Structure 1
Amino acid sequence: LPALLFADKDICNSVSHGCEQVCVNTEDSYICKCHEEFILKEDGKTCRYKDVCNSADHGCEHICVNTDDSYICKCHEDFILREDGKTCRNKDLCKSIDHGCEHVCINNNNSYSCQCHEGFVLRQDGKTCRYKDVCKSVVHGCEHICVNNDDSYICKCQEGYVLQEDQKACRRCTEGPLDLVFVIDGSKSLGEDNFEIVKQFVSGILDSLEISPKAARVGLLQYSTEVRTEFTLRQFSSAKDMKKAVLQMKYMGRGSMTGLALKQMFERSFTEAEGARPFSANVPRISIVFTDGRAQDEVSEWAARAKQNGIIIYAIGIGKAIEEELLEIASEPSYKHLFYAEDFTAMEDISEELRAQICEALKMSAHQQDPASGRLRKTGPQPSGPESTTIAITDVIACPNLAVHHKYLFEDSHTHSTATASKDKDQCKCENLVTFQNYATNEVRKLTQRYIL
């Protein structure tokens, strides 16, 4: 009976059918259907697009693939899907990103690393490359030795040579500009035979130098009871003439006034009047002092003055030479500037070692460093002798009434001091540079003890 009652009725319009799109009557019921391009979902009522990928803004970079009522993104061959599920990257990561590798990019699972071509190494940034051996990869121009220095290079010289101003060419240590004054003991204790050995020693040193007005200038003093200038720095411009003068030196053969000789060396031998170059030229000033016994006068004052004025002193003692005097004469450190032997048979060895030490001093000068003697750096031309000397004290040293970081004017006792100089001397209790250094050393020692203890 119910079937007959509903036979001619439109059930879709008489009930809440729930069809999303189309309701279709059947004999005694209804079914839901969908519009074209849609398909019915499993609930039998709602619809979905047959092709979701074409119906929605799926965002797939490469390929959209329908899955029931949704979709998934896929990538073309040789690509893989990124974590966002939409975009793709090359399976070869190096090709898919701006890796920044200068030479070669190597894939490493989900990452990469940079490598360099043969003959190169990776820099610390992990991307750029440099030559393993820069010296072999460029025309470096080094005359002797090229040394790799990170991604650049520096030139160095073989032993016995120093680098010239162009930082490429080399010259012998003793080819450089140098003002050298020998101070030779001609006392009676030496003897004429040994005096001849000393002359040979001087000639040997001269053979290792390039003697010329622009290179090495050499002067020589002989001392005994008095001091005699055998030749000045300006007198000879060739080794031949100089060696001839050495050969013709007459042995004085009397007392041993070493202090007097040091005084003349300091006051006269290194003056421009006798051929020394001005301080502004930065030419090393070296004195080689030879003695065979105890001095008959005081050596410490004039040795100290010479060293404080920038003269490097090498002391050579033979036989009865007194170690204490040699230490007073020689520059610091003594192991580089003091030579002693029991007799004259060692003169050749001393000559060789002395040439090596002079070479080292010239290397330091070439690099504009202060010599190992610890002397103070001068601020400009400084006259030797009785003229006042300006020294730049760069260390800050505690004086009673002021911190010393200034230029002090020290004058010899026989010159007239300026008011400022006298005031500074009183404040620091300094009458000359030697006293000042001693005072400063004591003050530093006191401060050290105070803060340590």
Structure 2
Amino acid sequence: MDPFLSRALLYTFGFLLVGVHGTHYRMYGYPIHNSYMLPPMVHGSAVLPVVVPKPGILASPPHPANVRPKPETRTLQVNQPTDNACKSRPLDLVFIIDSSRSVRPQEFEKVKIFLSDMIDTLDTGERATRVAVVNYASTVKTEFFLKTYFNKAAMKKAVSLINPLSTGTMTGLAIQTALDEAFTEESGARHVTFKIPKVAIIVTDGRPQDRVQDVAARARASGIEIYAVGVDRADIQSLKLMASEPLDDHVFYVETYGVIEKLTSKFKETLCGVDVCAPGRHDCEHICTATATSYQCKCRNGYILNPDKKTCSRIDVCALGRHECEHICVASATSYQCKCRNGYSLNPDKKTCSQEVRSVVQIEDPCKCENLVAFQGQVNTYIESLTTKLDELTKKLQVYEGRRN
């Protein structure tokens, strides 16, 4: 048999067995990392795939035992897979995983695979990202702390040994334990002066049996950014009560544990320091401000953020009473101006008003003498009229008294 044809058949057989499950494919939720594809070899009009096993992987001999290989006519350049971990910034990352009775054993294995895949995407180390795992049900167990392991192999081995705790779902207690134990400096968390983002990823498939709202609020207030991942029967409202804002970027839901690995790439993009405020990566109408692992929207001067935490509306500071005008507030495009009522003028502070002072001007009447004479004439006439009436009354009184006598 032609040696080249033998090689072609061997490569084709290897492709059918291994190639279709290369590094870019997964089977039954488990990553396949046993081989990677090389550029095809061309022989005449036939294009044959070439599969090269990784070192350490058993493979068939490159040539049949009874065929002596011909000298190679070209060299195949094999590029080793690149490290897909993020290199941008360190994190103090704590996974809080639900292992209550509702999580079946095979489903819990999926959670552990998800954790291992997440660890693979991170740049872990003492001065890089530190990882801890808190396991919970009715009770809470910290599987390992932020200071326990600094390399991926040790972390992944510890994850593989985690056993479910069964029983209830005390999510609030788990968050409190993470706050009191996992995120402390004694357990390996960096001091606040280092400005290392603190991130918690909660994975649950049920409704919490305790109150999570208050404890989650305390955790967020302490600077911990919380992501809530719900699976199958998870209560969406409870996820929203736990997660950080904006909720669209911190609350995730998958139908089954079988597809939870789909979130790995999403978290890799989020946790690896991608510029979340780059055009097309956010929904802010005005201003995008990056946070530790996400972003927040803000508005320009003269606008206020709407309840959706993304869009903005113009502020009518005059209608809302957010001004310092003593009399009249007039809203402008970005602020307001003060004005005064009639009879008042605006003071130099541009806010208060003072009453205007009006001067009275005396104008001398050039006809002053004539007016006085006319006035005197009117007075004399009036006096004469009164005197006449008085005389008439006197006469009537005399007649009346004479009749009485």
| TM-score (ref. length: structure 1) | 0.44
Task: Name which one, 1 or 2, has greater alpha-carbon Rg.
Answer: 1
